[in-house]
Amino acid sequence: MDCAELWISPNYCIQMPTVISSVPTAEGFVIGSDGRSRGPDSEVISDEVQKIFPINKPGIRLAYGIFGTAKFGTETNNILFDFETEIPLAIERMGKLRNWWEFLSSLAKSLTESLDTQRAEYGNELDPERGTTITMGGFYGRFQKLGHITFNYKEQHTEGEPHNYPPGFSFPWGSIKLFDLLNEGDQRLAKFAQPSRVGLNTLRDGIERVRKDILMHYDPEARKLDEAVCLGIGGLVQIATVTFADGFRWVSGFEPPK
C-alpha cells in the first residue's frame, strides 16, 4: 500500500461546477470531462475548453484533468503561470521516483514552489475561494494508479495537498445531488445508471460509464434538479483512455477541439 492511501466509498463524489469522471477498469483507465469555461461573473467564455491532458513517458502513462483556476496572470494576455504548461515541466524536474505516492507528493511540491515564485515576484493575489484541482490516473510503472492534488490559495502562499486512492476506486467530480440520486436508484436518472462504476472490466464499459456521468449533467430534466451546479457544465464532451500497452489515447468522437 502506498503512503497516505485513502479509503473512498464507491458512491463518493466531490461537488464542482464542472464534471470530470474517471474510472479504472481491468483493461485500463478512462477519464472524461465537459468543455465549458466560465468567467468571474459566471458568463460562458467557451464550450470547447480542453480539460484532459496526457503524460506519456518511459514508465509513466497517465491522463490528468484540470479544473478550477488553470491559469494566472495580471491580464488576459499576460499569463504568469499555466498548469497545463507547468505540469510536464515539473515532471521533468522531478526525475525518477520510487513509487506513485512519491510522484504525487513531489508533483504537488514542485508546482506549489513554482507558483509561489511567480506570486512573490509579481505580487499576484489569488482568490482563496477559487482553488485548483488536478485529478490523475493511469499506469505508474506496471500498476494502475489514481489520485488527485488540490491547490488552495492563501494570502501569501499556496498549499498543495496530494491524495492517493486505493486500487479499484475512483469518484466523479460534478453535482453531488445528481450522483446521490443516481446511486439511490432515482428513476428520473435511470437511463444513466448502467454500467455500474464499481468492478468495470473493459475499456468499453469504462467509456460508457464516463460518458453517462457527463451527459447526465447535460440532460434538460436532470439539470433542473441542480441548476446552480449544472449551469457551469456543458459543451464538448472529451474522453480518453490509458492502457499499459498504448498509453494515452483519445476516444474516437470525443477528441478535444483541434
Nearest to 49 by CA among 63, 40, 37, 38: 37
Give the model's pLDDT for residue 142: 92
pLDDT score for 14: 47
**pLDDT tier for residue 128 given thresholds of 50, 70 and 90:** low
C-alpha–C-alpha distance, residues 212 and 23, integer Å? 12
Q: Please tell me the distance from the alpha carbon of residue 158 to that of residue 212, in angstroms, as a whole number.
A: 35
Residues 6+ apart with CB under 8 A from 180: 11, 13
pLDDT of res. 213:
97
pLDDT in tens, 231-248: 999 999 999 999 999 999
Confidence of residue 5 (pLDDT cuts 50, 70, 90): very low
1, pLDDT greater than 60 = no
Model pTM above 0.95: no
Distances (CA, A) of 59 to 62, 92, 97, 115, 186: 10, 13, 11, 27, 42
Burial (0-12, 13-18, 19+ Cβ within 10 Å), 14:
middle
The contacts of residue 92 (CB under 8 Å, 6+ apart) are: none
User: Buried b / exposed e across 120-156, counting CB within 10 Å, b at 16+?
Assistant: eeeebebeeeebbbbbbbbbbeeebbbbbbbbbbeee
| Residue 2, φ and ψ in degrees, nearest 5 | -70, 155
Q: What's the one-letter identity of residue 34? A: D
104 φ/ψ angles, rounded to the nearest 5 degrees: -60, -45
For 227, half-sphere exposure in the C-beta direction (CA atoms, 13 angstrom radius) is 2
**Among the ranges 125-129, 187-191, 198-202, which has the highest mean pLDDT value?**
187-191
Q: Are 69 and 81 in contact (CB under 8 A)?
A: no
Return d(Cα 149, Cα 83) in angstroms, integer: 12
Residue 78 makes CB contacts below 8 A (sequence gap 6+) with: none
In angstroms, the Cα distances linking 158 to 83, 120, 150, 257 are 14, 11, 10, 31
pLDDT computed for residue 90 by the predictor: 95
The β-bridge partners of 22 are: 31
**134-184, pLDDT tens digit by residue?**
999 999 999 999 999 999 988 888 999 999 998 888 878 999 999 999 999
Provide the grid cell at 123.
505580487
